A and B are shown apart, each in its own frame.
Chain A
Amino acid sequence: MDLPENKEPKPRDPDRDTKYRERPGERDGHPARDNPHGDRDREKQRERKKDARDRDKERHKEKSREQDTEKSHSKGKDRGDKDRDRRARREEPRQTAAHHNLLGRQPLDRAECRMGAVSKVRTEEKERRDEDPERGDEERERRYRERKLQYGDSKDNPLKYWLYKEEGEKRHRKQKEPDRERKHGEKSSTRERREKYPKGKSNSFPDKEGEERHKEKRHKEGFHFDEERRQSDMDKKERLLREDLKKRESKSSEHRRRGASSRRDPTSSREGPCALWYAENLVRNNEKDKDSRGKEVEKEDFDSESAGGDEYTACFEDDFEDYEDDFEVCDGDDDGSDELGAREKIEELPLARKKEIQEVQKAINAENERVSELSCRLAQKQGPLEGERALKTGANSSPARTPVCGIFVDFATASHREKSRTQALKQKMRSTRLLRLLDLDFSFTFSLLDLPPVNEYDMYIRNFGKKNTKQAYVQYNEDAVDRDVQTEEIETRGVWTQHPAEGATVSGGSGSGELRDVATAPKVDTPRLSSFLRAACQVIAVLLEEDRVGPEPGWSPGTQDGTLPVSDRSSQLNASLPFLQNRTVLCLCASQGQSQTVVSVHGLPGAPFAPALDGRYVLCVWDIWQPSGPQKVLICESKVTCCCFSPFKAFLLFAGTVHGSVVVWDLREDSGIHRYVKLGDCFWTFRTATFSTDGILTSVNHCSPVQAVEPVSTPVYRKQSFVLSPFSTQEEMSGLSFHVASLDESGVLNVWVVVELPKADIAGSVSDLGLIPGGRVKLVHSAVVRLSDGLSHTRFEFWGAMQTLNVKFLPSDPSHFIVGTDVGLISHGTRQDLKVSPKLYKPQQPGMRPVKVNVIDFSPFGEPVFLAGCSDGSIRLHQLTSERPVLQWDGSTDGHAVIGLHWSLTRPAVFLAQDDTSCIYVWDLLGSDLGPVAKQLISPDRLVAMTVVGEAEKANGSFLALVLARASGRVDVQYLKRTWAAPVADELRKLQLLLREAL
Chain B
Amino acid sequence: MTSSTPASFTTGTADGLPETEKNAGESENTYILRPIFQQRFRPSVVKECIHAVLKEELANAEYSPEEMPQLTKRLSETIKDKLKEMGFDRYKMVVQVVIGEQRGEGVFMAARCFWDADTDNYTCDVFMNDSLFCVVAAFGCFYY
Q: What is the minimal beta-carbon distance from A432 to any residue of chain B, in angstroms?
A: 12
The answer to whether A442 touches B21 (Cβ under 8 A) is: no
The answer to whether A443 touches B115 (Cβ under 8 A) is: yes
The answer to whether A452 touches B111 (Cβ under 8 A) is: no
A118 in the interface (beta carbon within 8 A): no
Which residues from chain B contact A539 at a C-beta distance below 8 Å? none
Quick one: given A332-B25, A448-B135, are A453 and B116 in contact (CB under 8 Å)? Answer: no
The answer to whether B112 touches A449 (Cβ under 8 A) is: no
The answer to whether B116 touches A438 (Cβ under 8 A) is: yes
| A residues 381-431 in Cβ contact with B at 8 Å | 426, 429-430
Which residues from chain A contact B133 at a C-beta distance below 8 Å? 449, 451
Q: What is the minimal beta-carbon distance from B37 to any residue of chain A, in angstroms?
A: 19
Q: Interface residues of B toward A: which range?
A: 20 to 34
Q: Of B21, B22, B112, which is within 8 A of A445 by CB?
A: B112
Which residues from chain B contact A458 at a C-beta distance below 8 Å? 104
Which residues from chain A contact B21 at a C-beta distance below 8 Å? 426, 429-430
Q: What is the minimal beta-carbon distance from A511 to any residue of chain B, in angstroms?
A: 47
A426 nearest CB neighbor, chain B only: B21
Q: What is the minimal beta-carbon distance from A421 to any residue of chain B, in angstroms?
A: 15
The answer to whether B117 touches A330 (Cβ under 8 A) is: no
The answer to whether B106 touches A332 (Cβ under 8 A) is: no
Number of interface residues of A (CB under 8 A): 33
Which residues from chain A contact B114 at a C-beta distance below 8 Å? 158-159, 440-443
The answer to whether A448 touches B137 (Cβ under 8 A) is: yes
Which residues from chain B contact A330 at a C-beta distance below 8 Å? 24-25
The answer to whether A462 touches B130 (Cβ under 8 A) is: yes
The answer to whether A443 touches B124 (Cβ under 8 A) is: no
Quick one: given A438-B116, A443-B112, A444-B112, are A452 and B106 in contact (CB under 8 Å)? Answer: yes
What 1/0 flags go to B75-119 for Cβ under 8 Å of A?
Answer: 000000000000000000000001000001111111111111100
Q: What is the minimal beta-carbon distance from B139 to any residue of chain A, in angstroms?
A: 10
Quick one: given A437-B33, A438-B116, are A445 and B110 in contact (CB under 8 Å)? Answer: yes
Q: What is the minimal beta-carbon distance from B31 to any residue of chain A, in angstroms?
A: 6
A525 in the interface (beta carbon within 8 A): no
Q: Of B22, B104, B108, B117, which is within 8 A of A447 by CB?
A: B108
Which residues from chain A contact B115 at a C-beta distance below 8 Å? 440-441, 443
The answer to whether B112 touches A446 (Cβ under 8 A) is: yes
Q: A445 to B111, alpha carbons, bound, how many Å?
A: 6
Q: A433 to B21, alpha carbons, bound, how many Å?
A: 12
The answer to whether A453 touches B112 (Cβ under 8 A) is: no
| B residues 15-34 in Cβ contact with A at 8 Å | 21-22, 24-25, 27, 29, 31, 33
Q: A430 to B122, alpha carbons, bound, how many Å?
A: 24
Which residues from chain A contact B109 at a C-beta distance below 8 Å? 447-450
B126 in the interface (beta carbon within 8 A): yes
Q: A961 to B130, alpha carbons, bound, how many Å?
A: 109
Q: A430 to B133, alpha carbons, bound, how many Å?
A: 40
| A residues 135-176 in Cβ contact with B at 8 Å | 158-159
Quick one: given A448-B124, A448-B137, A451-B133, are A331 and B112 in contact (CB under 8 Å)? Answer: no
Q: Of B98, B122, B144, which is within 8 A of A438 by CB?
A: B144
The answer to whether B113 touches A442 (Cβ under 8 A) is: yes
Which residues from chain A contact B144 at a C-beta distance below 8 Å? 430, 434, 437-438
Quick one: given A332-B25, A433-B29, are A440 and B104 in contact (CB under 8 Å)? Answer: no
Q: A54 to B42, alpha carbons, bound, how many Å?
A: 59
The answer to whether A443 touches B117 (Cβ under 8 A) is: yes
Quick one: given A445-B110, A449-B135, are A434 and B31 in contact (CB under 8 Å)? Answer: yes
Which residues from chain B contact A444 at a C-beta distance below 8 Å? 112
Q: A330 to B22, alpha carbons, bound, how many Å?
A: 10
Which residues from chain A contact B135 at a C-beta distance below 8 Å? 448-449
Q: Which of A330, A441, A444, A446 has the most CB of B within 10 A?
A: A446
Q: What is the minimal beta-carbon distance from A94 to any residue of chain B, in angstroms?
A: 39
| A residues 327-341 in Cβ contact with B at 8 Å | 329-332, 334
Q: Of B22, B25, B108, which is within 8 A of A449 by CB?
A: B108
Which residues from chain B contact A441 at a C-beta distance below 8 Å? 114-117
What 1/0 flags go to A438-476 for Cβ under 8 Å of B?
Answer: 111111111111111110001100100000000000000
The answer to whether A451 touches B122 (Cβ under 8 A) is: no
B33 nearest CB neighbor, chain A only: A437
Which residues from chain B contact A440 at a C-beta distance below 8 Å? 114-116
Q: A433 to B133, alpha carbons, bound, how many Å?
A: 42
The answer to whether B126 touches A449 (Cβ under 8 A) is: yes
Which residues from chain B contact A445 at a C-beta distance below 8 Å? 110-112
What 1/0 flags go to A532-567 for Cβ under 8 Å of B?
Answer: 000000000000000000000000000000000000
Q: What is the minimal beta-carbon distance from B90 to any residue of chain A, in angstroms?
A: 12
Q: A446 to B113, alpha carbons, bound, how many Å?
A: 9
The answer to whether A443 touches B107 (Cβ under 8 A) is: no
The answer to whether B24 touches A331 (Cβ under 8 A) is: yes
Q: A335 to B112, alpha carbons, bound, how many Å?
A: 34
| A residues 659-716 in Cβ contact with B at 8 Å | none
Q: What is the minimal beta-carbon distance from A2 to any residue of chain B, in angstroms?
A: 15
Q: What is the minimal beta-carbon distance from A121 to any residue of chain B, in angstroms?
A: 34
Which residues from chain B contact A437 at a C-beta distance below 8 Å? 31, 33, 144
| A residues 97-123 in Cβ contact with B at 8 Å | none
Which residues from chain B contact A446 at a C-beta distance below 8 Å? 110-113, 122, 124, 137
Which residues from chain A contact B107 at a C-beta distance below 8 Å? 449-451
The answer to whether B27 touches A453 (Cβ under 8 A) is: no
The answer to whether B24 touches A329 (Cβ under 8 A) is: yes
The answer to whether B105 touches A450 (Cβ under 8 A) is: no
Q: A334 to B28, alpha carbons, bound, how many Å?
A: 11
The answer to whether B116 touches A433 (Cβ under 8 A) is: no
Q: A443 to B121, alpha carbons, bound, how many Å?
A: 10
Q: Which of A334, A430, A442 has the most CB of B within 10 A?
A: A430
17 A–B contacts from the bound complex (CB under 8 Å): A334-B27, A430-B29, A438-B33, A440-B114, A441-B114, A442-B113, A443-B114, A443-B115, A443-B122, A446-B110, A448-B109, A449-B133, A450-B107, A451-B105, A451-B108, A452-B106, A453-B106
Known: A433-B29, A441-B117, A446-B111. 4 other contacts (CB 8 A): A332-B27, A443-B112, A443-B117, A450-B108
Closest 7 CB pairs of A and B: A330-B24, A453-B106, A454-B104, A451-B107, A449-B109, A448-B109, A443-B113
